[in-house]
Structure formats: C-alpha cells, structure tokens
Amino acid sequence: MLQLISQVAANGLMTGLVYILMALGFTLIFGIMRVVNFAHGELYMIGAFAILILFGTLEVNYYLAVVVSVIIAAIFGIIIERTLLRRFVGQELNGMIMALAISISLQALAGIFFGPQEQSVARPISGIFNVGGVIVPRDRIVVGGIALLVLAAFYIFLRYTRYGLAMRAVSQDADAAALQGIRPALIYTMAFGIGSLLAGLAGALMAPIYTIFPYMGSVPMMKAFIVVILGGLGSLPGAVIGGLLLGMVESGVASFYSSTIATMVAFGLVILILLFRPNGLMGRS
C-alpha cells in the first residue's frame, strides 16, 4: 500500500509541476493586466510545434530546440499583447472575448499549416527510474527538474529583481506605480512575454511525451484554468498550491478509478471552491 501511495504521489508531483508552469503564466497575465488569456493554450501549442519543426524535422539538439521554442512563444505573446490585447487592459470581459478569438484563429492557422492530424516526435530521453518500486520515466524526471528550476528562477525574479518588484507594484496599483516612475505599458509587455514563455516551455517539454496537433492546447488551458480557480485568480502562490493539488488529486483518482472520474473530481473541486471560497485558496477579494 505504501508503494502505491508513493507511486501516486510521484505521478501527481510530475503532473502538478507542468500544471504550475501553465498556471503561473496564466495567472501572471491576469494579475497584472486583468485579462483572462484564453489563448494561453495556443502558446503551449506554439511551443510544441516549434519542437516538432526544430527537433523532429531539422534534428536540432533537443535542449537547444527547447530554448528556441520558448523564445518563439514569447515573441508570439509579445506581438499578441502589443497589437491586440493592450487596449483591453483592465477590461476583463472584452479582453476575454478577444483572447478567445485569438485562440480560435491560432488553432485554424495551425490546422492550415500543419494539418489536423496528430503528429509526434521521438522521445529524446528513454528509460525509467526505479526507487523502491516507484517507477518514473526519465523524461518525466527531466521535465520535473526543469520545471522546478524555472519556478525557483521565477520566484527570485519576482522577489529580488527591479523588474520583478515593478511587476508586483503594477499588479497592486498601476496608477500608483506610474507615479513612482514605473512604466505600466512596459510591465504589461514583460508580463505577457514571460507568461507566454512559460506556456511555450510547458508545450516544448511535453511535445515528445504527447501527440502534437492544432487543438492540443485546449486541455492544458482547461487544467490551467482549474488550477487558478483553485488557487485564486491572480495569486502566484495560489497557482503553485493549486497545481500540486490538482496533480495529486488527478493522480490518486485516476489510479483507483479512471481519468474520466479524475476530471469530474477536478471540476467538483472547482464547484466547491466557488461555492465556499469564491476567491480561491489564496485569492484576494
């Protein structure tokens, strides 16, 4: 029984770390711009398709391909923010509708250029890691390790760097931050670029594990949305807690029942949170 619990915990941790990468970018954008970015899943898709081209077709070194993929996703995000979403800062409903339109457009463009069929790339890392009967694929360990390093770097950036402190100031009061010499417009672009980078990183890391197709961002987007609702929309610590909670719950329920039941339980948690704690576990009023 202890071995089964350990296996469930290991699976939940690996899954939860990927959810956190997605949710951090999503909640960072909302916390600073007050825009619900429903195109976040398509930035995940862009990262995955970049891996398909660079690593799968051009045979670029996988880790170099990951770096280039996240840069591409960040550039896409910055272009989207500067050309389409900047005018909707603080307008949650209008911004959400625009983001949804961007999401559908990017899915259609991906379908035109890459076709609707599912594609895959070879796994760059093979084998399993076995400790006391707990089995974890080596590529999942690499993904989890990279996610942990990124989370640590993200925390240090927000807490100790000049631009990180500026982001925190703008998220609390953009007008007061502007009076202190901070340029909110620059911070909006940086926040969206970093959020897009995190989504692209998640897509690039998961591309060799799952199939790649134009609508692949829908499920990660749904998971990210569940995570930020659980943790609190706009709360970065809440995104971490929500991601780990969702990963553990899904892993446990899927191990004993099925993935369908796990999804139902996840949405059940969202319903309970909205009923009894509408701002989420760590959200602000």
How far is 150 from 197, CA to CA, in rounded Å? 11
Percent of the chain with pLDDT over 90: 52
* Least-confidence region, from 1-5, 108-112, 273-277: 1-5
Three-state secondary structure along 94-159? Answer: HHHHHHHHHHHHHHHHHHHHHCCCCECCCCCCCCEEEECCEEEEHHHHHHHHHHHHHHHHHHHHHH
DSSP at 60: -
Give the pLDDT confidence score for residue 283 in this predicted structure.
66
Give the global pTM.
Answer: 0.92
Beta-carbon contacts of 193 under 8 Å, excluding residues fewer than 6 positions away, are 74, 75, 77, 78, 81
Mean predicted confidence (pLDDT) in 73-86: 94
What does the chain come to in residues?
A: 285
Taking the domains of the chain in order of start, what are their residue ranges? Answer: 20-216
Nearest to 261 by CA among 269, 204, 106: 269
Model confidence over 150-201: pLDDT tens digits?
999 999 998 899 999 999 999 888 889 998 889 999 999 999 999 999 999 9
